Amino acid sequence: MADDSKRRSIRNRARSAGSTYHHGDLRRALIDGALAIVAEPGGAEALTLREVARRAGVTHAAPYRHFENKDQLLCEVAEEGFRKLTDAMAARAARVRDSLARYRAIGTAYVEFAAANPGHYRVMFGARLDHGHPGLAEAAQTAFDTLVGAIVAGQKAGQLRSGSAMEMALTSWSAVHGLAMIVIDGRLAPTGLPGKSPTALARSVVRLLADGMAAR
């Protein structure tokens, strides 16, 4: 019957993807599906538990065997996002020697990551996220530490003004996070600077910020 053949094809799909038991590694498949949805035009709005299940070829209730609820899945997605963000910043920073320029590079990379992955970024900063989730908290911390590290290094090199590195980091993070949100939410109209590329805007904001933080 149609039912049987459909079911078999599902099993086969799961089997082919390095399965451990029952139907492949569903947990991983669900996260991957969520990542795929979030990268599509629909964005974070279209990220629904049922759609994730559909893509994994599984019933809408199956995800509950691997995640307590939707938020837990979102945490996993967000965690992966913070790791990618950290990587993006680190990769950019690695190509710059001057510590002030490195600070700027990190800020620009931050905004560009958000602009390139708006759906993912929105999940990372969604209101419903369980802040207690251990992996997520650690991943977010690591991303933030990248910024702090660059600031401390700049201070040691005498290129950034002395003072509370933490306050400087919070200010920097606020600026890049705010710009990222403004850009991905399409809120540039009031500034009269629409049409400008995210990169150009990021460079402009980060330069002003770095000028302010630079030793004088």
Partner DNA sequence: ATTCGATGTGTACGGTGTCAACATCAAAGT
Partner DNA sequence: ACTTTGATGTTGACACCGTACACATCGAAT
Q: What are the angstrom distances between the C-alpha of 169 and each of 58, 67, 103, 139?
A: 44, 34, 11, 17
Is the CB of residue 80 less than 8 Å from the CB of residue 123?
no
Residue with tokens 């200010």: 171
Is the CB of residue 162 less than 8 Å from the CB of residue 155?
yes
Check binding of 182 to a copy of itself (CB under 8 A). Answer: yes
Q: State the Rg of the chain over Cα.
A: 21
Check binding of 19 to a copy of itself (CB under 8 A). Answer: no
Nearest distance from C-beta of residue 34 to a copy of itself, angstroms:
17
Among 34, 37, 49, 168, binds DNA (CB under 7 A): 49
Check binding of 161 to DNA (CB under 7 A). Answer: no
- Each residue 6-35 as x (binds DNA by CB under 7 A) or -, in order, gives -x--x---x-----xxxxx-x---------
Nearest distance from C-beta of residue 138 to a copy of itself, angstroms:
10
Buried b (16+ CB within 10 A) or exposed e, 31-61: bbbbbebbeeeebbeebebeebbeebbbeee
Q: How many residues bind a copy of itself (CB under 8 A)?
A: 48
- Show contacts with a copy of itself in window 139-158 (CB under 8 A): 140-141, 143-145
- Each residue 82-121 as x (binds a copy of itself by CB under 8 A) or -, in order, gives ----------------------------------------
- Each residue 20-39 as x (binds a copy of itself by CB under 8 A) or -, in order, gives --------------------
Tokens at residue 24, please?
Answer: 């492949």
Check binding of 178 to a copy of itself (CB under 8 A). Answer: yes
- Show contacts with a copy of itself in window 40-79 (CB under 8 A): 43-45
Instruction: Report what 10 binds from a copy of itself, DNA, none; CB cut-off 5-8 Å by kind.
Output: DNA
Q: In terms of residues, how long is the chain?
A: 216
CA 162 to chain centre: 30
Among 55, 66, 83, 84, binds DNA (CB under 7 A): 66
Is the CB of residue 169 less than 8 Å from the CB of residue 175?
no
- Tell me which DSSP letter residue 160 carries: B
Is the CB of residue 189 less than 8 Å from the CB of residue 132?
no
Instruction: Report what 32 binds from a copy of itself, DNA, none; CB cut-off 5-8 Å by kind.
Output: none
Check binding of 58 to DNA (CB under 7 A). Answer: yes
